[in-house]
Amino acid sequence: MNIYDRIKTMSDEMAGDLTAQRRDFHKYAEPGWFEMRTSSIIARKLTELGYEVLVGDQVCKKDSRMGVPSEEKLEEQYERAVAQGADPEFVKYTKGGMTGVIGILRCGEGPTVAMRFDIDALGVFEEHDPSHRPAKEGFNSVNEGFMHACGHDGHATIGLGVAKVLMSIKDQLHGTVKLIFQPAEEGVRGAKSIVDNGHLDGVDYLIGSHVTNKKEDDPAVVIPGSYGSLATTKYDVIFHGKSAHAGGSPEVGRNVMLAVGTAILNLYAIPRHSGGVSRVNVGTVVAGSGRNVIADEAKMEIEVRGETTEINEYMKNYAVNIIESAAKMHGCTCEMKLMGAANSLASSEALMERVKRVCEEDLHLPVAKEMSSKNGGSEDVSYMMNRVQEQGGQATFMRVLTHEAGPGHSRIFDIDEQVLPNAVKIFCGVVYDIMH
């Protein structure tokens, strides 16, 4: 049996275990910086397989994390993770939201190949009706308000499957494998902190992926790359003014409502960039304390996006100027908290071609007709890809195809779990092709 056949056989034989693991992660969904139980279980399994394991502040640079919840919420989720069966040895390293795990397999001289698997859930209430398969079969989220509605439970599971197969063929590999289990992808908050800790320095190849819906009769299992992912910057803006009686002494106040209104109207009036797609959105505004009180504090959540990092920078700078000027115009002040960010990305053609060749010629898996899919959203794997590419390395962000129930980020989302062994085959086949 050649190595590719061995990879396929092992992946198929572990399909049941992969399904069980994915359903466990799904049941105990944990969103960004709360992935404490998830991280501890991943760390335990990698340790048992024989990997060198990094946890806690060895993974994410603490001060580079974005959109970190309050200490009170982090402690609350830590206690819940412990109660829900987190590994006692490793969960302690996740306190304060220091989640994420990296597994390293050193196989002598050769290239360094990194793979990224995101592990966080979303703030979505999962459907409880029996028409929703996870509810019917007993693995819907028990953490109300949190749900794996984007397939990251599958991504984390795929990473563990890849770890098991690669360890079994390590004698055939030359170089270093890095398995990066990344927290807080949703809201594009986590990847930069891993890059800032130096984990992508010296990496020759980076492979990331996302499960993606396919047409009912489509035999393909993978699109080798992605492009067009929008760069983005996300802010929480806090306006500070001065309260006063709205009828008796309105001139004494400093009304944040005026500052917010001025900011909103002018944010949507930012001239669009001729170089490509640009976006701005004010998602939420919370302000005021009563109808007869001049509002003295407001919170606004905004984001900008751009087809390129440069266009996004244009949008960001314009938005910051508008917000600061709107506050000043009405005698208020503001503070802007960076909550998330990502760059644009483009997969390396040579690595996309490699994925295609390995799948078709060695694994005998059908590949989509298009080599690369356009992604209209944002993905913080871009930080990792860009770091590798600027060093002269190659990176790709694959789309592993599956049948999905419900749109992504909805309360009825689910995946066909056959994607799990398929993805393990693809990752391991490409890694072996690079490292043997």
Instruction: Give pLDDT tens digits for 193-240.
Output: 999 999 999 999 999 999 999 988 899 999 999 988 899 999 999 999
Domains in the chain with CATH codes: 3-229+344-435 (3.40.630.10), 231-342 (3.30.70.360)
Instruction: Provide the token pair at 254.
Output: 């400093």
The b-or-e profile of 262-298 (16+ CB within 10 A means b, else e) is bbbebbeebeebeeeebbbebeebebbeeeeebbbbb
Q: Mean pLDDT in the chain?
A: 97
Quote helix, strand, coil % in the chain, to nearest 5: 40, 25, 35
Instruction: Provide the token pair at 318.
Output: 């314009």
State the burial class of residue 434 (Cβ atoms within 10 Å of its Cβ: 0-12, 13-18, 19+): buried
Cα–Cα distance, 397 to 365 (Å, whole number): 18
Q: How many CB atoms lie within 10 A of CB 128?
A: 13
Name the DSSP letter for residue 21.
H
**What string of DSSP letters covers 245-266?**
BTTT-GGGSB-HHHHHHHHHHH
Cα–Cα distance, 28 to 351 (Å, whole number): 35
Outline where DSSP puts E strands in 76-204. 101-107, 112-118, 175-182
Mean pLDDT of 279-308: 97
Instruction: Give pLDDT tens digits for 134-193.
Output: 999 999 999 999 999 999 999 999 999 999 999 999 999 999 999 999 999 999 999 999
Cα–Cα distance, 198 to 340 (Å, whole number): 19
Name the DSSP letter for residue 359.
I
Mean pLDDT of 396-407: 95
* 43, 180, 261, 389 from 384: Cα distances, Å: 21, 10, 37, 9
**Which percentage of the chain shows pLDDT scores above 90?**
97
Mean pLDDT of 384-391: 97
Alpha helix stretches (DSSP H) within 28-145: 36-49, 71-83, 88-91, 133-136
Cα–Cα distance, 126 to 67 (Å, whole number): 23
Give pLDDT, residue 377.
85
Report pTM.
0.95
**What string of DSSP letters covers 360-390?**
IIIS---B-SSSEEE--S--THHHHHHHHHH
Distance of CA 13 to the CA centre of its chain: 28
Mean pLDDT of 52-66: 98
pLDDT band at 42 (very low <50, low <70, confident <90, very high): very high
Instruction: Provide the token pair at 99.
Output: 């989640």
According to DSSP, the β-strands at 333-342 and 414-415 are: unpaired
Give pLDDT, residue 216.
84
Give pLDDT, residue 376.
76
* 256, 259, 325, 333, 395 from 328: Cα distances, Å: 10, 8, 5, 6, 44
**Which percentage of the chain shows pLDDT scores above 70?**
100
State the burial class of residue 150 (Cβ atoms within 10 Å of its Cβ: 0-12, 13-18, 19+): buried
Mean pLDDT of 399-407: 95
Instruction: Give pLDDT tens digits for 325-379.
Output: 999 999 999 999 999 999 999 999 999 999 999 999 999 999 999 999 987 789 9
Q: Which strand (E) or helix (H) includes residue 306? A: strand 297-306
Mean pLDDT of 88-96: 98
Evaluate whether 226 touches 375 at the Cβ level (below 8 Å): yes
Cα–Cα distance, 220 to 434 (Å, whole number): 23
Give pLDDT, residue 228.
82
Evaluate whether 425 touches 8 at the Cβ level (below 8 Å): yes
